[in-house]
């Protein structure tokens, strides 16, 4: 039998083994919005052999350090949730950082995971990989069918490269690297910094602070007309663990969307957040600021067929996110 074919066959045999409670699991980016939720979900599911490293302990941009780390620890499974992330302002301000750091982080971990012969890896991308004017809702076949949204193109290109890297390793080496594309995420552990955060946590903080100060107006970026979909990060973590436990790369395909399948306008979101926060002033929309992509709604039929659906409704999720923000303010 051809050497490459033998290697692929061995990998496929490994793929048939499911994730067990004693399996050694590495969560890259365990302090982030998704990574911290994955940690909670794994522990709740009885997975106790989890390894992590802070940035001070392991610089994921350092190829040699990452390769040595995975070779020494030799985990069975890897959740690749580490990334440089941010909203429109951050993406526009630091495009070089976004493309370089994300390419390096994911490339180092994916290649080192291959070298270490791990059983399975899950790579987290982003719905911004889709063309700016992709048909709605966006399904997996829409990838690379049009131009990207300019405000986050460097980040999107890095994430597309990650998808293609995983699928290429699967095709050439028979690895079991799966890629998932989440919609906009929010929830416990989010970044509420006004300069670098996404729309939901930014709104929560701005409206809370406006309420405390007694401001009569709050400014929201853009026209308020773009439509966005939001997924609670605990649901996202549940989907990731479900796929790692139950589905392999040959079942998923190149990648799978993870979302709720419903969206709303930014104006409607702002109104929901203001009600939860208890801010009763006027919402002013600054049309001089960029709107970004007109609509970003994921088609989640493939995910539903694989056996998973989201559980947390948006109104309840916003309440939980606000409680998390308040908790952070009191620390």
147-205 pLDDT, tens digit each = 998 988 999 999 999 999 999 999 999 999 999 999 999 999 998 987 767 889 999 99
Confirm whether 184 is domain-assigned.
yes
The reply to whether the predicted model has a pTM over 0.75 is yes
Domain contains 168: yes
pLDDT of residue 3: 46
Q: Which residue's entry shows tokens 């610089």?
A: 59
Q: Which residues share a beta bridge with 127?
A: none
Rounded alpha-carbon distances, angstroms, from residue 97 to 19, 88, 152, 190, 194 = 35, 14, 12, 20, 19
35 annotated to bind ligand: yes
pLDDT tens digits, 46-102:
999 999 999 999 999 999 999 999 999 999 999 999 999 877 778 888 999 999 999
| Any domain includes 253 | yes
Q: What is the mean pLDDT of residues 100-117?
A: 98
Q: What percent of the chain has pLDDT over 70?
A: 94
Q: State the average pLDDT over residues 105-112.
A: 98
Please confirm, yes or no, whether 77 is among the known catalytic residues.
Answer: no
Domain membership of residue 159 (yes or no) is: yes
Q: Is 164 annotated as a binding residue?
A: no
> 2 among the known binding-site residues?
no
CATH number at residue 65: 3.40.50.720
In this structure, is residue 71 part of a structural domain? yes
Instruction: State the helix-helix crossing angle for 199-213 and 266-277, rounded to 10 degrees.
Output: 40
Q: Which tokens in the block code for residue 49?
A: 């052999």
Question: What's the structural domain count of the chain?
Answer: 1
In a domain, 320, yes or no: no
Q: What is the mean pLDDT of the chain?
A: 92
What integer is the mean pLDDT of 19-46? 96
The answer on whether 243 is annotated among ligand-binding residues is: no
- Specify if 63 maps to a domain: yes
89 is in an annotated binding site: no
Contacts of 5 (CB under 8 A, 6+ apart): none
- The residue from 26, 47, 155, 192 that is catalytic is 155
Residue 234 lies in a domain: yes
pLDDT for 14: 47
Q: What does the DSSP assignment read for 196-249?
A: T--HHHHHHHHHHHHHHHT-SEEEEES-S--EE-EEEHHHHHHHHHHHHHH--H
| Rounded-to-integer distance, Cα 321 and Cα 331, Å | 16
DSSP 151: G
Distance separating alpha carbons of residues 106 and 29, to the nearest angstrom: 11
User: Could you tell me the residue range of the domain that residue 53 belongs to?
Assistant: 3-189+230-261+297-312
């Amino acid at each position: 039998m051809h050497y490459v074919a033998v290697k692929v066959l061995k990998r496929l045999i490994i793929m048939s083994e499911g994730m067990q409670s004693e399996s050694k699991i590495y969560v890259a980016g365990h302090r982030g919005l998704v990574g911290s939720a994955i940690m909670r979900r794994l522990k709740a599911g009885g997975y106790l052999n989890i390894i992590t490293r802070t940035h001070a302990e392991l610089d994921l941009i350092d190829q040699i350090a990452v390769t040595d780390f995975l070779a020494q620890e030799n985990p069975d499974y890897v959740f690749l949730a580490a990334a440089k992330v941010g909203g429109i302002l951050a993406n526009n301000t630091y495009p070089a950082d976004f493309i370089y750091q994300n390419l390096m982080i994911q490339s180092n971990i994916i290649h080192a995971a291959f070298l270490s012969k791990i059983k399975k890896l899950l790579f987290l991308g982003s719905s911004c990989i889709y063309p700016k004017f992709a048909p709605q809702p966006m399904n997996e076949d829409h990838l690379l069918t049009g131009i990207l949204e300019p405000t986050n193109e460097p980040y999107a290109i890095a994430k597309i490269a990650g998808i293609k890297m995983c699928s290429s390793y699967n095709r050439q080496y028979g690895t079991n690297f799966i890629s998932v594309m989440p919609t906009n995420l929010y929830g416990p552990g989010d970044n509420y910094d006004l300069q670098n955060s996404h729309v939901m946590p930014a709104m929560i903080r701005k409206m809370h602070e406006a309420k405390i100060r007694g401001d009569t107006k709050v400014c929201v970026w853009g026209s308020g007309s773009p439509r966005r979909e939001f997924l609670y990060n605990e649901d996202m973590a549940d989907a990731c663990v479900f796929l790692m436990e139950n589905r392999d790369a040959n079942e998923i395909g190149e990648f799978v969307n993870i979302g709720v399948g419903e969206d709303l306008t930014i104006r409607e979101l702002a109104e929901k957040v203001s009600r939860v926060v208890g801010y009763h002033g006027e919402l002013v929309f600054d049309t001089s600021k960029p709107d970004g992509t007109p609509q970003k709604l994921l088609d989640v039929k493939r995910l539903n067929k694989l056996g998973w659906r989201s559980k947390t409704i948006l109104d309840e999720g916003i309440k939980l996110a606000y409680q998390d923000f308040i908790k952070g303010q009191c620390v």
